[in-house]
Structure 1
Amino acid sequence: MLLELAIGDAYGAGFEYAADRIVRERNDGAHYVRHPRHAIEPGCYTDDTQMSLAIAEALAEGDPWTRESLAERFVAAFKRDPREGYASRFHGLLTEVRDGADLLARIVPDSAKSGAAMRAPPIGALADTAEVVRRAELQARITHDTPDGVAAAVAAALCTHYFVHRRGAKDGLAGYLAAHVPGPWREPWRGKVGALGMDSVHAAVAAVLAHSRMSELLRACIAYTGDVDTVATIALAAGACSEEIAQDLPASLYDGLENGRYGREYLIALDARLMALATR
C-alpha cells in the first residue's frame, strides 16, 4: 500500500495543477517528470506521503490514538525530513512549531481541503471497520475539523479497508462507502479536481471503479488535471490492495522512486509492518 501510495504521489507531483497541454504530452505512466514550476525533483514524494508515513508509523508502533500523539508524529515527520508540497501556511507552521503541543496550540483546523484525506489510507489496514472510522475521524479533526474534511478522511481510509479486508467486489465499493459516508460515490468524476478533500476522494473512487490495471489507474488520475497527486495517492493506495486490479506499474516507477533514509526501502519495510495489522 505505502509503496504504491508514494509512487502515485511522486508521479502526480510532476503534474499538480500543470497546464492541460503538459498533462496530455507527458502523462505516459512510465517516467517521473519535473513540474514546470515546482522545485521537487522527479521521483520525490510530497506531503501526501510524508503525512501518511506519520500515520503508518503511529499505527505500527501502537501509539495512543490521541490528538497529542498524532500531532507529535506530524511535526516529527516534517522536522526530520523537511520537504516541499505542503500548503504554504501549513508548511510555515510546521517550520515554526517546536513540537506537537505547539502545533495544536497554534493551528486553526477549519479546512475542508484534502490534507486529512491524503494521509488516511494506512488506517484502512486495521481489521475493525468502526475503529477505522474512529481513527480516521480523530486524526482529521487535528487539521481539518469540518464536516467535509472529516468525511473525506473517513472515505479515503475505508477505500483501502474495503480491499485489504475483502469486504466485497470492486464494483461494490461505492455502495460500501455510501453506507458509512454520504457522498457522490456512485457518480463518475468529470473535470478538473480542486483542492477540496471530498472532490479528491470522489475522483479517486471513480478512477478505481473504472480501471482494472494500476498503470491505467495512475494515468487516469493524472488525466483529470488539477490536484492530481492527491487523487493518485488515494487511488493507488486502494488499488494496490485490490485483487481485481492488475499490479502492473512499470519497474521504472519503482526504481525511480527516491530511496534516501525515508524512501523506497523504508516504505517497503514499514508497509510490511502496517499490513501485519490486518491479521490482528
Structure 2
Amino acid sequence: MLVELAIGDAYGAGFEYSPDQMIREQNDLRGYVQHPRHDIRPGCYTDDTQMSMAIAEAFVSGEPWTRENLAHRFVTAFKCDEREGYARRFYAFLQSIQDGDEFLAKIRPNSDKSGAAMRAAPIGTFSNVSTVIDRCRLQAAITHDTPDGINAAIATSLMSHYFIHKVGPKLELPDFITEFVPGSWTVPWQGKVGAQGLMSVYAALTAIMAHDSLSAILKTCIDFTGDVDTVATIALAAASCSDEVVQDLPSVLIDTLENDEYGLGYLRKLDAQLMNNVE
C-alpha cells in the first residue's frame, strides 16, 4: 500500500494544478516529471505520503489511538524529514511548533480540504468497520473537524478496508461506501479536482471503478487535472490492495522513487509491518 501510495503522490506531484496541455503531453507513465512551478525533485513524495506514514507508524506501534499520540506522530514525521509539498501555512505552522501538545494547542481544525483524507488509507487495516470509522474520525478531527473533511477521510479509509479485508467485489465498492458516508458515490466524478477533500475521494473512486490495472488508474487520476497528487495517493493506496486490480506500475516509477532514509526501502519495511499487523 505505502509504496504504491508514494508513487501516486510523487508522480502526481509533477502534475498538480499544471496546465492541461502539459498533462496531455507528459502523462505517459514513462517517468517522474518536474513540476513547472514547484522545486520538488522528480521522484520525491510530498506531505500526502509523509502523513500517511505517520498514521501507519501509529498503527504498527500498538500505542493507544489518541489525539495526543497522533499529533506527536505528525510532528515527529515532519521534523525528522522536512520536505516540500505541504500547504504554505501548514508548513510554516509545523516549523513553528515543537511537539504534539503544541500542535493540538495551536491548530485551527476548521478545514474541509484533503489533508485528513490523504493520510487515511492505512486506517483501513483495522478489521472492524466501526473501528475504522471511529479511528478515522478521531484523526481527521485533529486538523479537519468539519463534516466534509471528516467524511472524505472516512470514505478513503473504507476504500482500503474494503479491499484489504475482501469485503466484496470491486463493482460493489460505491454501494459499500454509501452505507456509511453520505454522498453520490455511485456517480462518476467529472472535471477538474479542487482542494476540497471530497473532490479527491470522488475522483479516486471513479478512477478505481473505471479500470482494472494500477497503471490505468494512475493515468486517469492525473487526467482529471487539479489536485491530482492527492487523487493518485488515495486511489493507488486502495487499488494496490485489490485482487481485481493488476499491479502493473511501470518499473521506472518504482526504481526511481526516492530512496533516502525515508524513501523506498523504508516504505517497503513499514508496508510489511502494516500488512503483518492487519487485524
Match of 1:76 in 2: 76
Letter matched to residue 179 of structure 1: E
What is the Cα-based RMSD across aligned positions, in Å?
Answer: 0.6
Letter matched to residue 249 of structure 1: L
TM-score by length of 1: 0.99
Moved over 6 A (4+): none
Match of 1:271 in 2: 271
Matching of residue 191 in structure 1 with residue 186 in structure 2: no
Is the contact between residue 123 and residue 132 of structure 1 (CA under 8 Å) also seen in structure 2? yes
Match of 2:90 in 1: 90
Match of 1:102 in 2: 102
Match of 2:171 in 1: 171
TM-score by length of 2: 0.99
Q: 1: CA distance between counterparts of 2:48 and 2:63?
A: 21
Is the contact between residue 127 and residue 277 of structure 1 (CA under 8 Å) also seen in structure 2? no
**SS of equivalent to 2:109:** coil
Is the contact between residue 126 and residue 277 of structure 1 (CA under 8 Å) also seen in structure 2? no
Measure how far apart 1:52 and its partner are. Answer: 0.2
- Matched ranges for 1:22-41 at <5 A: 22-41=22-41
CA deviation string 1:240-265 (max 9, x = no partner): 00111100001000001000100001
Letter matched to residue 46 of structure 2: T
Q: 2: CA distance between counterparts of 1:63 and 1:225?
A: 38
**SS of equivalent to 2:176:** helix
- The count of corresponding residues between Structure 1 and Structure 2 is 279
Match of 2:156 in 1: 156
Measure how far apart 1:115 and its partner are. Answer: 0.2
CA deviation string 1:186-242 (max 9, x = no partner): 011110000001110000001100001111000000000000000000000011001
**SS of equivalent to 2:157:** helix
Matching of residue 9 in structure 1 with residue 9 in structure 2: yes
Q: 2: CA distance between counterparts of 1:42 and 1:142?
A: 31
Q: 1: CA distance between counterparts of 2:131 and 2:94?
A: 28
Measure how far apart 1:132 and its partner are. Answer: 0.7
Letter matched to residue 167 of structure 2: R
Q: 1: CA distance between counterparts of 2:61 and 2:17?
A: 35
Q: 2: CA distance between counterparts of 1:63 and 1:138?
A: 15
Structure 2 unaligned blocks of 5 or more = none
Identity of aligned residues (%): 60
Structure 1 unaligned blocks of 5 or more = none
